[in-house]
Amino acid sequence: MSKHDNPSTHHSDVLKPGPPAPVAPPRRRVGRRAPVALLIPAALGLAFLVLPLAGLLVRAPWSTLPQRLVAPGVLTALRLSLLTATIATVVCVVLGVPLAWVLARVDFRGRRIVRALITVPLVLPPVVGGVALLLVFGRKGIVGGWLNETFGITLAFTTAGVVIAEAFVAMPFLVIAVEGALRGADERYEEAAATLGAGRWTTFRRVTLPLVAPGVAAGAVLCWARALGEFGATITFAGNFPGRTQTMPLAVYLALEKDLESAIVLSLILLAVSVTILATLRDRWINTP
Amino acid sequence: MKKGRARTALAALAVASLAATSAGVGCGSEGGPQTTGIPAGAVTVFAASSLTESFTQIGKDFEAANPGTHVTFNFAGSSALAQQINQGAPADVFASASPATMKQVTDAGNGDGDAVTFVRNQLVIAVPKGNPDRVAGLTDLAKSGVKVALCAEQVPCGAAAKKALDAGGVALTPVTLEQDVRAALSKVKLGEVDAALVYRTDVRSAAADVDGVEFPESAQAINDYPVIVLKEAPNMAAARAFVTYVLSDKGRSVLTEAGFQAP
């Protein structure tokens, strides 16, 4: 239990006593204007990101907004979206934080390959991700076929399927954020805990986790936001059925088929809810200036 | 030093924006002559996803018959296409899978003249090859344990499916409402559902993987496919020629081969 960690893998500066040197606070640079060459593209970039949102606001049917908000199906889709995105985030944290820890703290062959594999869902078109999920977790899939025959469980077209699709797409965001936090964290605290007799599990729980908590929180928020907006993998793997698998993005897409204004209203709801939640969480968990 | 770098960046920006503008101009001029009667240049056709195979073939035949023309397709759900056109997408021709979606375009004043019905399509039940669940008609789909994919009611195949189910007095709960007919078909191909209501033409295009079961109620839900030249067509002459070609005997034979019925 109290076996010390083998220090041979650590750097020699471990032996230096005392806490890490304090980082100097960033000084305000007075009297120096930002260069135009940066300001112009920055302004263009901002306009590029903000204008489409403004377009939604301008085109929104404000007069009929109240009726559309209480239209049947809207709240159902919103509730399902919030529920599945939250469960998917929990799944991602439970599986993703240990994965990030292994990547950041354990030296093993093929670590680079593992890291590259983890980022694949980031670049994979989500629709392809959905097909891939069907091939594994679908009724005829490698895992799904076994689940179906042994337990009679099918995942495709269920709310659980939505969670799987969202977690698949969103987990890389969490792993990358947490791994970055772990790499940025000062390992000397962990080594100090080890010298004091703490095992690796205890060190992880009592030292590492509190140390990188802001990073985990930031990763979880990013992960949740990605899960909330997930469309391609969800519609491919989980299908579209109101109340069971029809999340807000799916409802938006189908509304777009018939009625542009409903689609705008649904998008605005999703936007408002996510911005509110993210702003609240940011204030509470993450200290960013 | 610093100024020089800033200037380089600005110059790069200027070059980039120039390139963007000239690319835009290039696109415009590719449209070809607009007033002459001989079709030439690029034609952009927005067509319902159920027309994918047959229109691709017709496009090739049209290009061969009219040297100098080039047909580009945008295949998607008819309603999505109608929305894109009404939002100003630069299309020459719109071929829709239902009069209702066509009406969205003509009501918005984006059609040139009247839409012409060029084919009709009928629903069938798509089942995995060999029909393992022995589906013989609509009522079999309502049995418990049979997983069915339908199109969402917002798209033409979903509207037709609803009509057919209502006509047969069959109430069924599908496991999914797909966004277009090809998505519903692919769920059958992948074995995720036991059956789906799709068009006869879709089954024919996937004959290696699925079988089609005809059912009498589908006669109550036959879809007319209208086609129209768009008012803002960048290449009006070629657009008219393409529609004429679709309505010609050559075009029609490709369509009937694919399983469509003559109007």
B53 touches B182 (CB < 8 A) = no
Q: In this structure, what CATH number is given to the domain that contains residue B134?
A: 3.40.190.10
pTM: 0.75
Write out the residue range of the structural domain in which residue B106 sits: 33-120+225-257
A30-44 tens-digit pLDDT: 557 889 899 999 999
Pick the CATH number of A67-285 from 1.10.3720.10, 1.20.140.10, 3.40.47.10, 3.40.50.11260: 1.10.3720.10
Q: What is the mean pLDDT of chain B?
A: 85
Mean pLDDT in residue range B74-83: 87
Residue A197 confidence class, pLDDT cut points 50, 70, 90: confident
Percent of residues in chain B assigned helix, strand, coil, to nearest 5: 45, 25, 30
Is B6 inside any structural domain? no
Other C-beta atoms lying within 10 Å of the C-beta of residue A211: 17
pLDDT average, residue stretch B202-228: 91
Contact B80 A40 (CB under 8 A): no
Strands B210-213 and B123-128: antiparallel
Provide, rounded to the nearest whole percent, the portion of chain A with pLDDT above 90: 42
CA B98: distance to chain centroid? 10
Tell me the domain boundaries of chain A: 67-285
Please check the confidence at residue A6 and state whether its pLDDT lies above 50: no
Is B166 found in the same domain as B84? no
CA A70 to chain centre: 29
Give B39 or A95, the one with higher predicted confidence.
Answer: A95
Q: Which amino acid is it at A50?
A: V
Q: Are residues B86 and B105 in contact, defined by beta-carbon separation less than 8 angstroms?
A: yes
Of all residues in chain A, the percent with pLDDT exceeding 70 is 87
Q: How confident is the model at residue B24 (pLDDT cuts 50, 70, 90)?
A: very low
Q: In sequence order, what E strands does chain A have?
A: none
> How many angstroms separate the CA of residue B179 from the nearest CA in chain A?
7
* Structural domains counted in chain B: 2
Find out whether B135 and B141 touch, Cβ atoms under 8 Å.
yes
Report the pLDDT value the prediction gives residue A10, as an integer from 0 to 100: 44
Question: At CB < 8 Å, which residues of chain A contact B?
Answer: 35-37, 40-41, 131, 134-135, 138-140, 156-157, 235-236, 239-242, 245-246, 253-258, 260
Are B86 and B100 found together in one domain?
Answer: yes
Per-residue pLDDT at A273 exceeds 90: no
Asked if pLDDT for residue A289 goes beyond 60, the answer is no
**Same domain as B240, residue B200:** no
Q: How confident is the model at residue B128 (pLDDT cuts 50, 70, 90)?
A: very high
Among A40, A140, A241, whose Cβ lies nearest the Cβ of B191? A140
Residues B134, B215: one domain?
yes
Q: Which whole-number Å values give the CA distances from A121 to A23, A31, A175, in the listed order?
A: 36, 45, 12
Binning pLDDT at 50, 70 and 90, where does residue A228 land? very high
Radius of gyration of chain A (CA): 23
CB pairs under 8 A between A and B: 71
CA distance B37 to chain A (A): 36
Kindly state the greatest CA–CA separation across chain B.
81
> ipTM beyond 0.95?
no
Using pLDDT thresholds of 50, 70 and 90, give the confidence band for residue B19.
very low
- A288 has pLDDT over 80: no
3-state secondary structure of B123: strand
pLDDT, tens digit, for every residue of A101-148?
999 999 899 999 999 999 999 889 999 999 999 999 988 888 988 998
Element (H, E) at B212: strand B210-213
- What is the per-residue pLDDT for B22? 39
Nearest to B172, CA basis, from B195, B139, B200:
B139
* Spatial distance between the Cα atoms of A170 and B225, rounded to a whole number of angstroms: 41
pLDDT at B154: 84
Q: Are residues B115 and B37 in the same domain?
A: yes
Residues of B in contact with A41 (CB under 8 A): 9, 13
B62: in domain: yes
Q: Do B192 and A134 touch (CB under 8 A)?
A: yes
